[in-house]
Homo-oligomer: A and B are copies of this chain.
Amino acid sequence: MSGNSFGKLFTVTTFGESHGPAIGCVIDGCPPGLVLSEADIQPELDRRKPGTSRHVTQRQESDTVEILSGVYQGVTTGTPIALLIRNEDQRSKDYGNIAESFRPGHADYTYWHKYGVRDPRGGGRSSARLTAPVVGAAAIAKKWLLQQYGTTFKGCMSQLGDIAVPFQSWDHVHANPFFAASDDAALIASMEEAMDQLRRDGDSIGARIDVIAQNVPVGLGQPIYDKLDADIAYAMMGINAVKGVEIGAGFDSVAQKGSEHGDELTPEGFVGNNAGGVLGGISTGQEISVSIAIKPTSSIRTPRRSIDKEGHPVMVETFGRHDPCVGIRATPIAEAMLALVLIDHALMHRAQCGDVAVSTPKLK
């Protein structure tokens, strides 16, 4: 209610700061009877953790997760599941110079004015490190959705700065450091070069990420206002650095005519998917498709104008360990948020309509 919980029935409440003793979350509402251990969660955390290539932050965190509650003899009991991740690499000295001034593009200025107090170490609570607990929670959601409906999630980077990455196949996503759905070696090389140049320049760049969910039951979404797409937009815009969200045809819809946009139906299924799998705020049973815009990392080595807490002009240059493109690690995070939205709506749906409705036959 005060902002640090996600979801209404599968509720994830996170806590922690970038350089505090620990981060973690409490998951309330997980269905009982799910076989679960740390081994189900750790792989998802490993996909987003820092230090996996030279193109991301070199902070060393094992992100080892410990389940503190809610699981007995390897099975969820229906009671809250607490996940704990101890912070290991807290080089607070890197951040000493930013306690008194506000880094452009960061939450420093707003946290200070909202709360009158601020934990400046690594961005405190506003750090992208806080995406780890929700990725952990979403690993549980994904497992349940897969078992219940066969739902799966995929994501890729479709644009890095001005380099478009045409989609080839989901198979390629984990074969390169960018989550690119491409095996075009020249393209990947150009991305590597662009990133290396940014590092040399002390600058950063934005990215576009696409995520989908497949095998989603028809009927998820609470119109109006907790529509499935509204909650997806909420989830995605809530990820650090996201500035735009599209469902299906997204902004291309503006220039489309009704005779072109509205997806026709035949006995075999929908003919197209401009809807992105959502009509009237409710899932159609088609693939849910989402695209997000991620701004360039605000922490850069280029000196920039700012002010200190007294309002005096200062120059700010951020040292320390940063991702030159936060978009690179955003794919598993966006998948995670989508999974959390879907499990919440799945539970909400069966509350009101029962199990039967969820198994309604559906078109593809």
Contacts and interface: CB of A to CB of B under 8 A. Distances in A.
Interface in A235-292: 235-238, 243-267, 271, 274-276, 278-285
What 9 A-B pairs have minimum CB-CB distances, sorted nearest first? Answer: A107-B280, A3-B222, A105-B262, A2-B29, A204-B258, A234-B234, A110-B282, A230-B238, A233-B237
A218 interface: yes
B354 A78 contact: no
Nearest to A295: B253
Q: Does more than half of chain A's interface fall in helix, strand or loop, or is it mixed?
A: mixed
A106 interface: yes
Interface string A1-28: 1111111111101111100111110101
B221 A110 contact: yes
Interface stretch (A44-52, A53-61, A177-185, A356-364): A356-364
Given A21-B68, A107-B281, A206-B253, A354 B355 contact: yes
Count of chain copies? 4
Contacts of A140: none
A309 B217 CA distance: 18
A269 B144 CA distance: 35
Contacts of A110: 218-219, 221, 278-284
